[in-house]
């Protein structure tokens, strides 16, 4: 461990062993006292802080599993999310903020939506949060993407407050808690693009593995499909395919038109893009979902990073078109 010395670990294990759990405040006190925390205004040793938090939780779970599941762990999960954002490990960051929300639901079942975990996921006023610099960064990336979409959509403009109130909070407050995964996945998809695009720009001139870009585009397609299954449920066919949904009467009533879902090459997907229309976005995203979901060996169309950026935009357009039509 980095911030927690051997002597301190021994001491906190003794404290934990004698700690009586009478309410969530006992866990809040314990982790506020012994956690390594994080720095407010700049990134400072996020790997070391994250590693210490995870090791601390592993020690506590091993020492007393029953007490571990009883003690409120919202604080360490929140800080694990924050440090993961600092490490640009966005999947881990969203996993831990969701874990913090689950702890808050256990702690305050009637007011968890106003606790730090949910406020983080719903991008509430950064100045009210200890992780304000991280929330502000996420908000900036989201506003940038919403502004781009507003310029091409022909739809009533999406601003960050309407996006959060009409989409994010609706899914976060769903009785089915797994629906929060769609929100988490959207943030991961949004934030990872920045790194994937940068990596393409500096890779070898003769190419190489396209795995990171395929997986990222697959996530976009999976978010699109998950939204469709949420918006157009069919209890009789819970495992129906993307094509089944796109060809259903209820979907066609909202978005008429043929949407092919297959493609023999990635170049075929690229060549099929026709502007920024709903039809183009739905076709490109459906083809990418089914193409990237079945094989890792495809033609490398990413020699020009802007092709990858355009594919990302098509998927983001498809997601935002669904949100603007069906949630607002």
Domain ranges of the chain: 6-121, 203-326
Please give the Cα distance from 328 to 280 (Å, whole number): 22
**Token digits of residue 36:** 């390594």
b/e string for 97-123 if b means 16 or more Cβ within 10 A? Answer: bbbbbbbbbebeeeebbebbbbbbbbb
Task: Kindly report the pTM of this predicted structure.
Answer: 0.95
Q: Which two tokens stand for residue 205?
A: 């001139």
pLDDT of 235 reads: 86
Distance from C-alpha of 104 to C-alpha of 117, rounded to nearest angstrom = 7
CA–CA dist 15, 125 (Å, integer):
36
Ramachandran bin of 207, using left for φ above 0, alpha for ψ from -120 to 50, beta for the remaining angles: left
Dist CA 209 CA 211 (whole Å):
6
Residue 147: its pLDDT value, please?
98
Backbone angles phi, psi at 304, to 5 degrees: -100, 110
d(CA 59, CA 80): 16
Asked whether the beta carbons of 58 and 4 are under 8 A apart, the reply is no
Which residues of the chain have a pLDDT value below 70? Answer: none
pLDDT of residue 305: 96
């Amino acid at each position: 461990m980095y911030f927690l010395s051997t002597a301190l670990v021994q001491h906190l294990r003794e404290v934990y062993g004698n700690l009586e759990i009478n309410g969530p405040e006992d866990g809040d006190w314990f982790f506020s006292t012994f956690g390594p925390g994080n720095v407010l205004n700049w990134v400072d040793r996020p790997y070391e802080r994250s590693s210490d938090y995870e090791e601390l939780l592993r020690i506590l779970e091993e020492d007393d599993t029953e007490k571990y599941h009883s003690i409120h762990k919202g604080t360490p999960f929140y800080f694990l999310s924050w440090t993961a954002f600092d490490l640009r490990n966005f999947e881990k960051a969203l996993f831990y903020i969701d874990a913090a929300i689950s702890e808050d639901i256990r702690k305050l079942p009637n007011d968890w939506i106003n606790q730090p975990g949910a406020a983080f996921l719903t991008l509430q006023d950064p100045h009210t949060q200890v992780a304000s610099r991280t929330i502000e960064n996420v908000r900036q990336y989201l506003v940038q993407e919403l502004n781009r979409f507003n310029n091409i959509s022909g739809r009533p403009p999406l601003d960050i407050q309407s996006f959060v109130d009409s989409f994010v909070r609706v899914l976060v407050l769903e009785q089915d808690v797994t629906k929060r995964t769609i929100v988490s996945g959207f943030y991961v998809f949004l934030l990872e693009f920045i790194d994937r695009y940068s990596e393409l720009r500096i890779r070898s001139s003769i190419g190489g593995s396209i795995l990171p870009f395929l997986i990222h585009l697959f996530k976009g397609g999976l978010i699109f499909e998950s939204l469709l299954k949420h918006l157009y449920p069919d209890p009789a066919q819970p495992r129906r395919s993307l094509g089944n949904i796109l060809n259903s009467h209820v979907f066609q009533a909202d978005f008429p038109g043929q949407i092919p879902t297959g493609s023999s090459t990635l170049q075929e997907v690229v060549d099929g893009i026709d502007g920024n229309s709903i039809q183009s976005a739905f076709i490109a995203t459906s083809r990418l979902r089914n193409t990237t979901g079945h094989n890792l060996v495809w033609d490398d169309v990413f020699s020009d990073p802007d092709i990858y950026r355009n594919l990302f935009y098509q998927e983001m357009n498809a997601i935002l078109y669904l949100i603007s039509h069906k949630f607002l």
